[in-house]
Amino acid sequence: MILTVTLNTALDLTYGVPALVPHASHRVTDLSERPGGKGVNVARVLAALGHDSVVTGFAGGATGAVLRELLAALPTHPARVIDALVPVAGDTRRTLAVVDRTTGDTTQFNEPGPHVTADEWTAFLGSYGELLTTADAVALCGSLPPGIHVGGYAELVRLARNAGVPVLLDSSGEPLRRGIAARPDLIKPNADELAQLTGSREPLRGARDARRRGAHGVIASLGPDGMLAVTPDGNWQASPPAPVKGNPTGAGDSAVAGLLSGLAEGLSWPDRLRRAVALSTATVLSPTAGDFDRAAYEELLPRVGIEEHADAA
């Protein structure tokens, strides 16, 4: 079982419009509504790949109730997404993605999320500790909601490591900086997040610096150039066969699901990267935010290129 943590869950709304024009009224041609937040997206892709996952974090209010109803309605075959969310008094946030169907460009609006009290955080820590006893791996994903201290992810990384559970951290800014000091097994920043963390715009150099700061392994998302892995076992870059145009929402989450499923299946690092890049590219090609195009994924997977980098610093 793979545990995904989404402290700032969301109800994801996607509006499709013929063309997005500033200062104009728009007629929505299609609408989708799904449970969201980075770790929830990861869990949904894991289930589609055949891996049971447990979703934890916070949910509250009317929006949180809808989110949990949608989680319960997810397919249970080939695998399940299990709801272990902790209730809060505040209302779960919403995110809105407006997709221009002419250009494929997406405009995103993200609410901040509910304020989490000290008692609610304590309740979550107790539940998280219990879930770690049956987890094969854990992914800590996304932003921190108001009320959680900036070292919240560092605390969760330490608890996972004390339980002997491999832990992946996918966050940004100060929560990522603090989290790295707790020595996660893997971090997955994009190129901008890696540059903000290390001060280096050169991804290979930045990833090596992030390892020196405490991360055992670094997977850097490079957008259309694929993904770079700097690990104790070697360094590789995986690239899609050609650039694609579409909705990038959730592409990084699909990549995390690819990495975790590859870990669970004992795949080599190059094969994990191939899966992660194929899944993220297939997510860009999907018309619905946070989903992936399975046919595109299966067609892309054998065509993802792999290049090994020398280990010199």
Cβ-based neighbours of 258, under 8 Å, separated by 6 or more: 45, 49, 272, 275, 276, 277, 278, 279, 280
- Two tokens, residue 54: 């447990």
Per the annotation, the verdict on 253 as an active-site residue is: yes
- Two tokens, residue 205: 């150099």
Distance of alpha carbon 175 from alpha carbon 145, whole angstroms: 11
**What is the per-residue burial (b if ≥16 Cβ within 10 Å, else e) of 171-184?**
bbeebbbbbbebeb
Which position among 170, 253, 291, 293 bears the catalytic label? 253
End-to-end CA distance of the chain: 36
Residue 2's DSSP bridge partners are 53, 137
Distance of alpha carbon 55 from alpha carbon 47, whole angstroms: 11
The label of the residue with tokens 């297939």 reads 282
The label of the residue with tokens 């009290």 reads 117
Catalytic residues: 253
